[in-house]
Amino acid sequence: MKIFDVNLSTGRWPFRRLPQENLADLDAAVAKAGISGGLVRSLDAPFSLNINEENERLLEVCRPFTHLIAVPAVRPDFGLWRQITGDFAVLHPNYHSYSLLADETLEMVETLLNRKIIPLIVIREEDERGQHPLCKVPPVPADEINQLAAKFPDKPFIVLNAIFEYMNLTEPNIYLDFSFFESFPALKNPVEKLGCKRILFGSHAPFFCISAAKSKLSYDKLKFEDIEDITHKNMERILNER
């Protein structure tokens, strides 16, 4: 089965040690799990004052792993986003303290979309219940994401780490990875409410185990074609239709 993981990270998370922080170790876990490729973002970028430096480091680290795609971080108050190339860019509005609806953010997002760069919006990196008590970072408001997506209805937005049961992401051009879908079976409610066309395979490794993500595909109401949509065809469709 072909599986493309939209939610992989590498780097040093400041609050706790993670397994497979090193990309070579993460790649070994990815290969063992039968993942054919994926998107990788920097765990250093959310806290960095120089995300361009982190983007360059990420690109260099990913270079030997041709099946893993380095996704640069962007922020509206750091003008180097205008130099970003590729198919994806990741946004951390909560860690970088900006609104998705601010004029400068809308300018950045519109420019990226016009260049066919797909925004990945990270709602959270870790469960708020597990955050350091002096470093609480709230999730990105779902209403802001909905309003942003509504301004560009023909363009795709990928949202990472949404807890489905508590996030009312309604716009049809919003796609969700399932790493934080927590109910059991994890895909029951999302599939019933969204169908399979808006759900993407995302493990959130190395925070979470890749095997836990794969186990979510065992939901007995999924047909083979549904699993194919979630594991890779939805992403292929997004790239072809952006």
Distances (CA, A) of 150 to 13, 56, 143, 157: 33, 32, 10, 10
Q: Considering only 98-102, 171-175, 187-191, which range has the smallest mean pLDDT?
A: 187-191
Structure tokens at 18: 């993670």
Provide the sign of the torsion angle of the four alpha carbons 14, 59, 49, 177, taken in this order: negative
Q: Where are the beta strands (DSSP E) in 139-228?
A: 157-160, 174-177, 199-200
Contact 210, 203 (CB under 8 A): yes
Average pLDDT, the chain: 93
- Dist CA 92 CA 137 (whole Å): 11
DSSP assignment of 30-99: HHHTT--EEEEEESSGGG-S-HHHHHHHHHHHHTT-TTEEE--EE-TTSGGGGG--SSEEEE-TTTTT--
Q: Does pLDDT of 139 surpass 90?
A: yes
Q: Does pLDDT of 220 surpass 90?
A: no
Tens digits of per-residue pLDDT, 92-109? 999 999 999 999 999 999
Contact 59, 70 (CB under 8 A): yes
Tens digits of per-residue pLDDT, 3-35? 999 999 999 888 888 888 889 999 999 999 999
Tens digits of per-residue pLDDT, 50-106? 999 999 999 999 999 999 999 999 999 987 899 999 999 999 999 999 999 999 999
- Dist CA 114 CA 134 (whole Å): 39
Q: Give the list of residues 6+ apart from residue 186 with CB closer than 8 angstroms, or none.
A: 178, 216, 219
Beta pairing partners, 38: 5, 68
- Dist CA 149 CA 174 (whole Å): 7
pLDDT for the residue 166 = 63
Domains delineated in the chain: 4-241 (3.20.20.140)
Global confidence as pTM = 0.95
Three-class secondary structure of residue 205 per DSSP: strand
